[in-house]
Amino acid sequence: MLLTLLDVHQVRNLQKIRLEPSPRCNIVYGANASGKTSLLEAIYLLSVARSFRTPHIRNVISHEQPHLQVFAKILSVEGQSHSIGLQRSLNKTRIRIDGEDINQVAALSTLLPVQVINPDVHKILEQGPKYRRQFIDWGVFHVEHQFLIAWKTYYRVLKQRNAALRQKSGTEAIKLWDTQLIQQAREITLFRETYLQQLIPVFNQYVQKLLQLEVEMHYQRGWNADFTLTETLDKNLEKDTYRGFTSAGPHRAELEILYQGKPVQTVFSRGQQKLLVCAMRLAQITHLKNQNQQQSVLLVDDLAAELDIQHRRNLVELLIDTRAQLFITATEAEALDIPAEIEQKMFHVEHGEVKEVVQ
């Protein structure tokens, strides 16, 4: 899907803006704290109903405003147009698609796949396994329609099993949940492993182009590979009952990325980490396009940060080659060096006002 029209109201310092983006490349430039990142944040909100900058929606809604609102028109590769809208207050989320109220955020995400590359992108490597699981699950969600059902069922059963553990309900009561848990765990694991088998060759190509290095990506299921999950749950039952939570399963899975046998987060510089995560994002976008013919929107905040000129140019070239719709921020438009033959629009942001710059 491509954004053809974007309306934003009360998102941080963006009080009311309206723009018609280019289907290829959109350069958003202006001084720091002018509202550039807030514009990207508004687009991200329209895909997943939350911010990539903060878990607290109160920080995203403009000061003294009751809610934020983002509306867009999008166009599929088949030429089908849709209207999507999001309104969020402190305690309510309203989603509309083609004029109808929708209860599931997943409906937005399905229509508008959005990825983000920002100065905090290295956190996917440096912070906990949760962030790397989210990376995998974004990709699986968009290519395997049954994954969301399995994922939701698994976490519902996991919650019930954990409650039984905390209440010391006894072996029989706890084991009642194991059959369902194991069934959904098997599906989730198969979905994830199949996805990564397809993704890794694409990822390796991008790593070579951006870093000229070879790295390894390994998926750890969330329990010892020498045992089945049934055996592991039985083995850990006493420990899990004492702790009050299930210590093995897909919710404990890990994605290891190694360079010369060591975790990349321990040996790569911050700039190398950024390029590596860019390779991960680009691989997902390319794989999604190859599998489903689905275009993504890619938000790149402060592209120049921690990258020298040559790496910046290489990255811009690869970003353009994905055919994703790009929104790239910079303090100065000239710093990005986008080839003139690429269809592009420029938007200047100043004090929360966004204006298209006629070139």
List the chain pLDDT tens, one digit each, 359 residues: 789 999 999 898 888 999 999 998 999 988 888 888 999 999 999 998 889 888 889 998 988 889 999 999 998 777 788 999 999 998 899 999 988 888 888 888 888 999 998 888 888 998 889 999 999 999 999 988 899 999 999 999 999 999 999 988 888 888 889 999 999 999 999 999 999 999 999 999 999 999 999 999 999 999 998 999 999 999 999 899 999 999 999 999 999 999 999 999 999 988 889 899 999 999 999 999 988 888 899 999 887 777 778 888 888 888 888 888 999 998 877 767 777 778 888 898 888 888 888 76
Q: Which residues of the chain form CATH 1.20.1050.90?
A: 121-294
The domain 1-113+295-359 is placed in CATH, from the list 3.40.50.10330, 3.10.20.90, 3.40.50.1110, 3.40.50.300, at 3.40.50.300
Tokens, residue 271: 């700039």
- CATH 3.40.50.300 region(s) of the chain? 1-113+295-359
The superfamily CATH assigns to domain 121-294 is: RecF/RecN/SMC, N-terminal domain (1.20.1050.90)
